[in-house]
Amino acid sequence: MENRINKIFVKNFRGLVDLELNKLNRINVLVGDNNSGKTSFLECIKLISNPNLNNAITMCTTRTKQLRAGSFFTEFINMLPKRDNSGINISCIFDSGNELKYRLNGNVVQTLINPIEMSEYIKIIKFDSMQNISQFNGKIGYDFYNKNTQDIKKNEQEIKLNAFNAFNYRSFKGKSNLMKVAYISPVDYAGINRSFDIIIKNEKYKEIVIESLKIFDPYIEDILYMKDDFGDPIECVKNSKVGIIPLSCYGDGVKKLLSVAGGIASANNGILLIDEFETAIHIKNYDDVFNFVDKACEKFNVQLFITTHSIEAVDELLKIDSLVENSDINFITLRKDYDLNKTVSRTLSAREVRENRKNFDFEVRL
Amino acid sequence: MNSLVLCEGKTDAILLSYVLINQYGYKPFKDENGDKKNLTPIFNSNLNEYAYWYKNNNSFVLICSVDGCDNISEFFSKYIIPIQKNDYKNENIFEKIVIIRDKDDKTNEEIEEVILSKTNISFLSNKWEKVCIETKFDNINSFFLTYLLIIPIEHSGALEDVVLTAFSEDDNKKIIVEKSCKFIDDIKQDASTYLVSRRLISKAKLGVTLAIMSPEKVFHFIDEMLKNIDWTKYNTIMTTFNVLSELA
Amino acid sequence: MNNFLEYLDKNLNEVMFDDEDDDYTNLLKTIATMISNTRNENKITQHELSEITHIQQGTISKIENGNCNLTLKMLQRVADGLGKKLIVKFE
């Protein structure tokens, strides 16, 4: 399995066009105006980590969890560039020297489906005539070039996707996992995925996470599951002043840290993506929280991509001397240039950003 | 449009700002919204470093003084090169950069050489030049204009000489200038421990002239005295700094 | 803050992760899809399923994303709510 991306070229994905990043580091901080493509970039990495149709369909709904979503089909179509039929095209080179080229393209046509097939899709309705529906006909595939053996593994899957069969594809079978990638969205911490579970299972890690939670509440002593009256497990926190209370009683800071800690664990020897790193974290805690994230990612060999809007968060990162001295962190500014019709980027080392901020209050985010 | 005018000392900067304001309609600009913060050097409280913005419609001029010729190298590598390389969009870079240098005893070519070696950017004397630079945004190239103003334009000397020449346009002041200069020329042998360089001799000449013209202010800093003179009356000043009209 | 850094440096070294978790994750996700597909085929909303099973809708959502530490009891209730029989098979 690959565990670190060295270079990435996003020819086409959502709003990203011709984005080329050649200097990726252990920690990459993406900054940029609203709508510059930061979240899309993180999604790219998640998309190519598991280059099959199942993952593509799962990916397309990551943004619509809180909104009323169109069907999977509509969301899937929305992921493809609207300008032309070129489809999604992403390639990257890993630290190992291996290369991956990912493509997804096709077009939407009107198709007639016979009633028997329709009934397979929606079992509880009896169809008696041909149905005219929109269908996406295309291909998804990837080429994987192995530097050692010098051979190229090609894989291609045909797609015939419509609103009715879309969730059949949404299975998690197919272990073509090229990389372990964990993604934490700005609103994820409210649900914290399986982070709680992952942390509790590892006694030593749990100890460290609890110590880190004390950043937010020095009286936190333990995290555990309690059973409710139905026998269902509830995530709880043991507080030396208040006793055992549900995690839901705590503010978003604690939930966020748990979410991130779980993310680091599931992304060990892989890649962790944190969108809007500073959300729910008070500025005075940035340094402690980030030190935890940095040390844990370093120890567990996790490549980190984070996005942020906050210049205070950037300045806090720049205060961590070890990171700046070791050149472990890059700041990447994304910008949509409508004249050039591409997404341009500027990669600076932490040292450069620190010097520029000191010398002329450099606005690294734009 | 953002322009940078780089001069050698606070005195020069004050004179330049005077010309900008009174001749070309600029007003001092206080950057309250932080629009120009990306372009404003932050100095470490060195009293001889000076950075102030002036605005006229859409033209923004930053007058910066960097004390001494040696510091110009550091000034460029610390502030100007990163600024020019960090972006290709006009609103985030200096579209025009003017350097003002005293001629002293050098030739124009010699000064151009020195500036080039210290900044790695080509500045031609009394002429605009287009410079191309590779930015950090996907190595996209961006362009800006440079201009090297060497003063006095005609003869050798420095800013002080320009001021003295300006005063000489006025018949009343001309005699004072002549006699003050003669006084210094006569005494410079005896005062050789103080007036060690040609530059200091020029400063002394101007100092004596101003001491006579405004004796009650003789103990104030020279800038105060300069501020109270109506420079628009002096043709020399206006012609010498004509380049400032080309910043808009 | 320095104490915290030292604490991290010293204690992170003692943590080891094993990857058998992946199989469990995959199992959860397979079950998740099964539940989601069945529910959609039968045109039942998460809200309705929540009311039948007395499991919070948020939890149902987490289950269907493979993000919930599912107990056997919960699984049974979901199956009942969908009008299905739960069968476990070793292969």
Tell me, what's the ipTM?
0.82
Per-residue pLDDT tens over the stretch A162-209: 887 776 666 555 556 889 999 998 877 655 678 888 899 899 999 999
* Interchain pair A288, C14: CB under 8 A: no
Average pLDDT over residues B4-14: 88
DSSP A82: S
CA-only gyration radius of chain A, Å: 22
Provide, as residue numbers in chain A, all residues whose Cβ is less than 8 Å from the Cβ of C33: 170-172
- Which residue pairs, CB below 8 angstroms and at least 24 apart, start in B203-211? B203/B160, B205/B160, B205/B164, B205/B177, B205/B180, B205/B181, B206/B160, B206/B163, B206/B164, B208/B180, B208/B183, B208/B184, B209/B164, B209/B167, B209/B173, B209/B176, B209/B177, B209/B180, B209/B181
Alpha-carbon span A267 to A299, nearest angstrom: 12
- Mutate one of A360, A361, A363 to test the B interface: name it (highest B CB count within 10 A): A360
Chain A interface, Cβ < 8 Å to B: 20, 333, 335, 340, 344-348, 352, 355-356, 358-363, 366
pLDDT higher than threshold 80 for residue A12: yes
- Number of domains forming the structure of chain B: 2
Q: What are phi and psi of A71, to 5 degrees?
A: -70, 170
Provide, as residue numbers in chain A, all residues whose Cβ is less than 8 Å from the Cβ of C9: 295
Alpha-carbon span A105 to A302, nearest angstrom: 31
Provide, as residue numbers in chain B, all residues whose Cβ is less than 8 Å from the Cβ of A360: 37-42, 79, 82-83
- The domain containing residue B204 runs over which residues? 159-236
Beta-bridge partner residues of B235: none
The alpha-carbon gap from C42 to the nearest alpha carbon of chain A, in Å, equals 6
Q: Looking at chain A, which subunits does it touch, using at least 3 CB pairs closer than 8 Å as the criterion?
A: B, C
The alpha-carbon gap from C91 to the nearest alpha carbon of chain A, in Å, equals 16
Q: At what angle do helices C2-12 and A203-213 cross, to 10 degrees?
A: 170
pLDDT band with cut points at 50, 70 and 90 for residue B45:
low
Average pLDDT over residues C73-79: 90
Buried b (16+ CB within 10 A) or exposed e, A156-172: ebebebbbbbbbbbbbb
- Out of 3.40.50.460, 1.10.260.40, 3.80.10.10, 3.30.565.10, the CATH code matching C21-91 is 1.10.260.40
Average pLDDT over residues A279-293: 91
pLDDT of residue A265: 92
pLDDT of residue C20: 57
In a shared domain, residues B104 and B211:
no
* Interchain pair A204, C15: CB under 8 A: yes
pLDDT of residue B6: 94
pLDDT band with cut points at 50, 70 and 90 for residue B214:
confident
The domain that holds B144 is classified in CATH as: 3.40.50.10620
Q: What are phi and psi of B192, to 5 degrees?
A: -65, -20
Residue A196 tokens read as 């709680």
Alpha-carbon span A8 to A94, nearest angstrom: 9
pLDDT of residue A65: 60
pLDDT band with cut points at 50, 70 and 90 for residue B34:
confident
User: How many CB atoms lie under 10 A from the CB of residue B44?
Assistant: 7
CB-based contact B59:B248 (threshold 8 Å): yes
The three-class DSSP label of residue B10 is helix
Per-residue pLDDT tens over the stretch B108-162: 999 999 999 989 999 999 899 999 999 999 989 999 999 999 988 888 888 888 8
* Interchain pair A360, B37: CB under 8 A: yes
Of B30 and A127, more confident? B30
CB-based contact B53:B61 (threshold 8 Å): yes
CA C36 to chain centre: 12
Strands B2-7 and B96-102: parallel
List C-alpha distances in Å: B185 to A74, B102, B156, B191, B240. Answer: 89, 21, 16, 10, 25
Find residues 14-43 of chain C whose CB sits inside 8 Å of chain A: 14-17, 21, 25-26, 28-30, 32-33, 36-37, 40-43
* Interchain pair C71, A233: CB under 8 A: yes
What mean pLDDT is reported for chain A? 88
pLDDT higher than threshold 90 for residue A40: yes
* Interchain pair A124, C43: CB under 8 A: yes
In a shared domain, residues B140 and B85:
yes
Among A286, A233, A229, CA closest to A256: A286
Of A344, A360, A366, the CB nearest to B138: A344
In a shared domain, residues B104 and B216:
no
On the CB side of B217, how many CA atoms lie within 13 Å of its CA?
A: 15
pLDDT higher than threshold 60 for residue B66: yes
pLDDT higher than threshold 80 for residue A46: yes
Average pLDDT over residues A226-252: 89
Among A281, A262, A350, A275, CA closest to A305: A275
pLDDT of residue B125: 92
Of B156 and B222, more confident? B156
Amino acid, single-letter form, for residue B122 = S
* Interchain pair A291, C14: CB under 8 A: no
Residue C27 tokens read as 């199992």
In a shared domain, residues B149 and B205:
no
* Interchain pair C58, A175: CB under 8 A: no
CB-based contact B26:B54 (threshold 8 Å): yes
List C-alpha distances in Å: A333 to A90, A307, C32. Answer: 19, 10, 38
* Least confident piece of the model among A80-84, A240-244, B131-135, B193-197: A80-84
In a shared domain, residues B123 and B29:
yes
List C-alpha distances in Å: B93 to B96, B111, B142. Answer: 9, 25, 9
The alpha-carbon gap from A287 to the nearest alpha carbon of chain B, in Å, equals 25
pLDDT of residue C17: 85
Query: Can you give the length of chain A in residues?
Result: 366
CB-based contact B62:B5 (threshold 8 Å): yes
What pTM value is reported for the model?
0.85
